[in-house]
Amino acid sequence: MPGTGIEDALAKAAALGTARAGEAELAHAATLLRTHIAALLPAAEAHVDGLWPGGAEWCPRRARLDAIRYSLGEQAPALTPLSAQVRLALLHRDCAWLLEHYGNARPENPRGGPVTRDHQARRVAAHPHRRAGESG
């Protein structure tokens, strides 16, 4: 049985984008990617909401997330096999971008993005009574 993880879904979508795939296969792959995108969006939204509105980082990320959210709303069936493959490729691109930028959201970094030394230093400075390995 094939894996259902996000990396597996991305690999399957990439393979289907270069092969002659059936309508059902393309639709299933698109549904998997939509599910993963919907799961990654809250961390991405939380991160962007924490940025300075109008800032150099906020503007492109806000626009990208708005475009991704809009594309999730496009649920109408594809009219041709080519349009189904194009839609799958766009979902693949969006999912891969979200995974790269926000895929590692976890308790010590709830807003996603890379955990950097600067992030860790700010966390330690804000909570000097905690040891480096403690969470919370």
How much is the pLDDT for 18? 63
Instruction: Assess whether pLDDT exceeds 90 at residue 32.
Output: yes
How is 1-25 classified by DSSP, letter by letter?
Answer: ----SHHHHHHHHHHHHTS---HHH
pLDDT confidence band for 106 (50 / 70 / 90):
very low
- At 58-68, the pLDDT tens digits run 999 999 999 99
Mean pLDDT along residues 112-128: 46
- At 86-101, the pLDDT tens digits run 999 999 999 999 999 9
pLDDT confidence band for 103 (50 / 70 / 90):
confident
pLDDT confidence band for 31 (50 / 70 / 90):
very high
Phi/psi at 103 (5° precision): -75, -10
Instruction: Assess whether pLDDT exceeds 50 at residue 124.
Output: no
Higher-confidence position of 108 and 93: 93
State the average pLDDT for the chain: 78
How much is the pLDDT for 16? 80
Residues paired with residue 106 on neighbouring β-strands, in sequence order: 109
Domain boundaries, the chain: 6-103
